[in-house]
A and B are shown apart, each in its own frame.
Chain A
Amino acid sequence: MRKFRSNWSQGDRERYQERSDSYRERAGTSYLSRERWTHQEVVTSPLPKPVATSSLMASSVDFKTYVDQACRAAEEFVNIYYETMDKRRRALTRLYLDKATLIWNGNVVSGLDALNNFFDALPSSEFQVNMLDCQPVHEQATQSQTTVLVVTSGTVKFDGNKQHYFNQNFLLTAQSTPNNTVWKIASDCFRFQDWAST
C-alpha cells in the first residue's frame, strides 16, 4: 500500500475529502462499517508547520494548534486501535512502528515479530474505553519528532477470563508527508488495575 502514497496537493486533499464525505452522508453508517480492510492506519491532515517567532502570543497559538492536533489524532487513533484489537486482531501490528515496544502487565514485548506473536496468543477481547486523555509531547524529548501521549482507561474482557479495569498509555508518533500524517505507536503500556490479584 505504501507505494500508493504519492504526493497530493492540498487542494486535491480537500477535494477528495469532499468526495468521500458527500457519499458518506448519503450512504449511512451501516454500509460503511464494512470496509476498513484496505489499510489499517490512523491518518490525519497535515501537521501545522512550526512558526519561528519570539512573540508569546504567537507561540501560544501554536501550542493550541498542537493540542488540537493531538486531540484529533488521539481520538481517531483510539477508535481504530480498540476496534482493530477486538475485531481485526491480525491487523493490529500495522499500527505499531517496527521497533515499538509493549509492556503488558509487566511483560515486555519488543519489535513487530514479537508483537505479532503476542497479539496472536492473546485471547479475543472486548474493550470498552471510558476515559481518554492526551497531551502533545514536548519537542525537547522527541527532538522535534511530533509525538502525542495518549492515556486511556476502561474495561476489557478477554475470552475465558473475567472482566478487568485497565489503564493504558501510548506514545504516538507522527510520520509526516507534506500532505498527510500517519500516526504509529512507538510505545504501549498496558496494565490491569487489579493486576496484583490476577
Chain B
Amino acid sequence: MGHSDQVVRRRARCLDMYQRRFSNVSQPVSLGMHSSSHQQQDGDAAMQGAHMESPVRYTPYAISPFHRRGSFLKQDQTHVNMEREQKPQRRVEVNRPHGTLGSWFKITIPFGIKYDEKWLLNLIQNKCSVSFIPVEFHYEKMNATFYVENASIASALKNVSGKIWDEDNEKISIFVCPDGIPHSVQRELKPEKVEQVKLAVNQQQALDIQKLPIYSGMAENSDSMADEGRGVCVRWKVRDGNLGRGQYCCCTSRVPPCLLVFSSLLPGDFMTCDTKMAPNPRKGVAASLHAHEENIPKVMSSGEMDKWKGIEPGEKCVDRSPVCTTFLNNSSNINSILELFPKLLCLDGQQSPGPTLCGLEAHKRLPTCKGSFFGSEMLKNLVLQFLQQYYLIYDSGDRRGLLGAYHNEACFSLSISFNHGDSALSILFKYFKDNRNIKMLQDPYLRGQLLKHTKRDIVDFLSALPKTQHDLSSILVDMWYQTEWMLCFSVNGVFKEVEGQSQGSVLAFTRTFITTPGSSSSLCILNDELFLRGTSHQRTQSALFTLVPTPFSSSMPAFSQEQKKMVKGFSAQSGMNFQCSQKCLHNNQQDYSRAVPVLAPPKVCVPMTESGDLAGAEKPKPNSQS
C-alpha cells in the first residue's frame, strides 16, 4: 500500500535526522525552542553509555523573564555544585539512548479522514510558514494524524488551524498535542528505553523522599487549575515509563507553593524541591530539575491560572519561558493544594493527610437515594393501575390474559445476573437458556432468537415460565420518560416462585416497560425487558408474602363497611386520594369477580414517600391498616 511505503520512507528520513543530530553533541543545534547546549553531569556509572545526550538541570528560582538560557546555565552551575556536595548519589541520570524521544508532537486534523493525504498535507504546507516533515501519517477513527518532531514546527502548524478550508468551504482545524510519539519511533527505541526507564525508576525509589516530593496529581481532569488567586499551579506529564502516565506536581507548604509547569517530563525526570536553597523564600522555591532542556518548566502566577481554564492538555506547551513569582501566605495553601490535587500522595516529604482527612472527598457526595419517582399524580395512578392488572394476570396461573396487554409487534427479552452468591444460582439456572446478554452473546442469530417478537410469541414464552407471586406492596417504580405517545417506566421488586423445584424461593427483578396509550385509557406494552437476579434477603423477603386472601364476589354490595375501611387504608398507605383508591379497588374487584384467584387489594400499595426505606423487610404487616 502506498501509505506504508510513505511511512517507511519517512522513517528512514527521520533516522537520518536523528543520526545527524545526535552524533555531534558539541555543536549547538538551534531548532527553535530546543536547547542550544547540553551539560554533562555525573551520575550513576551504570547509566553512562555511548549515548551523549544528557539532561540539563534547571533551577528556576529568582529568574526574571529577561534571563534566557545563558544565565540559566550559570545558575545551574552553582546549583549543580551544591547538589553535588550534598548527596551526589541521589541524582538520577537518564542518558537518553540514541535518538530517543526528541520532542514529538502529534498533529491531529479532526474529520481528516475525508481528505486525501497528499492534498491535505500540501494544503497545510502552503499555509504553514515553516516546512515540516509529517511522520507516520495515518487516519485514526475520523481524524487524520501525523507527527512532527519539533516544537516550533508544531507551533507553526497550530497557527495554521482555522486558516485553511476544504473543498466544501469548511474550515479545517489542527490540533497539536505534545505527548505523541510515533509508533515507529517507539518501536525502534523500545528495548533501550525500557532499560533506561527501569534504572531510572529504581534509582528514584532509593532516593530520599524528603528531597523528592513528587505527587500524583489529577491525570486528565486537571484543567480547572485556577484556585482563586491562592497560588499557582504545577503539573507535568510523564510520558510512558514506569512512573506511569499522569501529571505530577511539586509543591511545598513551608513556603508558599511554587508550582512549575512542564509540558512533558521524560521518564526518569524528577524534581527536587528544596526550600532551604531558595535565596528568597518569599520568592519561591529552589527546584532542581533533571530534565530534557526543552521541557523548561513554566511557573505561572495565579493570574495566569485563568488561562488554564478550558485549555486542552495538548495546548499548553507553547510558552516555555520560566517565570517565578511571589506567592501568598501559605496558611491556606495546603487545602488549596489538596483541592487541586486530590490524589496527593506526599506533601513536604510526609504522607499527605489524604483527601478524606482534609474533607476533600466530602465535597463530592453521592446524592441521597430516594424512592419511586412518578412524573405526576395522574401518571402514577395510571402506572399503578396498569401494574396491578398486569401482575394479577401474571400471577394467576394463566398468562394468556396478557395478550390484551401487549402490542401486536411488541418485543420482550430476559436477562439474568448472578450477583448475590451461589444461593441464587440454582434458582436462576432455569432462566439461563433464555438469558439475552449482548455483552456475552456475539452470535447475531442467537441475539435475534432470544428476542421475543409479537405478542403471541411473548405470551407463549411467559406462559412457560414458572408460576409466580409478586409482592406489589414493596415495588419501586421509576418513571423515566413520557411523551404523548409513550410512557416508560421501570419496576423493581421481588417475587416468589410458587411451583417447581425452586418453590418458595425469592427472586428480585427489574422490569422495564415501554408502553403507549392503548384503548380504554389503558397502556399497551411495546417493549418489555425483564432482568432477574437473586436476592440477598431470602428469609426476610418471605415475610413480605404473608397474603391474606380476601374473597370478593359480585354478590357483595359495591362499597361495604369493610371495603370502605380497606379503601381508606389503601389510600393512606399508597398516598392516593380516596376517590382514586376507590376506583382502583373497584376495578380490581371487577377483575376478581371473574373468578380469578385473589391477591388482596389492601396489600397493593407502592411506596410513594421519599424516605426510601419501604422496600425492605421493615414494611409493616400488610394486614394492619393504621
Contact = CB atoms under 8 A, between A and B. Distances in A.
The reply to whether chain A is a binding partner of chain B is yes
B448 interface: yes
Interface in B361-378: 361-362, 364-373
Shortest 3 CB-CB distances between A and B: which pairs?
A: A106-B370, A141-B486, A105-B369
B168 A193 contact: no
Contacts of B183: 26-28, 31
A134 to B, nearest CB: 6
Contacts of B370: 105-107
A6 B168 contact: yes
Contact of A160 (B139, B168, B364, B416): B364
A112 interface: no
Interface stretch (B12-20, B140-148, B425-433, B459-467): B140-148
B514 interface: yes
A64 B373 contact: no
Contacts of B516: 138, 140-141
B192 interface: no
Given A26-B183, A31-B183, A132-B438, 9 more contacts: A19-B138, A20-B141, A38-B110, A67-B448, A118-B367, A130-B439, A167-B492, A171-B481, A193-B419
Contacts of B368: 105, 107
Given A131-B417, A133-B415, A133-B437, A140 B490 contact: no
A191 B367 CA distance: 12
Interface in A15-46: 16, 19-20, 22-24, 26-28, 31-32, 34-35, 37-39, 43
Taking residues whose C-beta sits less than 8 angstroms from the other chain, chain B's interface range is 35 or more
Interface stretch (B150-158, B403-411, B593-601): B403-411
B111 interface: yes
Contact of A106 (B141, B365, B371): B371
Nearest to A108: B373
B590 interface: no
B533 A64 contact: no
Interface string A107-133: 110000000001001111000011111
Contacts of A75: 438-439
A12 B114 CA distance: 8
A68 B183 CA distance: 35
B512 A149 contact: yes
Contacts of A43: 142
5 contacts: A103-B480, A133-B437, A153-B415, A167-B490, A195-B612
Interface string A129-148: 11111111110111100000
Contacts, number: 233
Contacts of A31: 183, 186
What does DSSP make chain A's interface, helix, strand, loop or mixed?
Answer: mixed
A82 B483 CA distance: 27
A130 to B, nearest CB: 6
Contacts of A12: 114
A16 B139 contact: yes
A71 B368 CA distance: 33
B481 A187 contact: yes
A27 B362 CA distance: 42
Interface string A83-121: 000011110000000000101111110000000001001
Nearest to A60: B453
B469 interface: no
Contacts of B480: 101, 103, 169, 171, 187-189
Contact of B439 (A4, A124, A129, A171): A129
A67 B411 CA distance: 10
B22 interface: no
A186 interface: yes
Contacts of B180: 34
B556 interface: no
Contact of B411 (A1, A135, A153): A135
A138 to B, nearest CB: 4
B492 A133 contact: no
A187 B186 CA distance: 43
A171 B488 contact: yes
B485 A142 contact: yes
A55 interface: no
B221 interface: yes
B533 A193 contact: yes
Contacts of B188: none
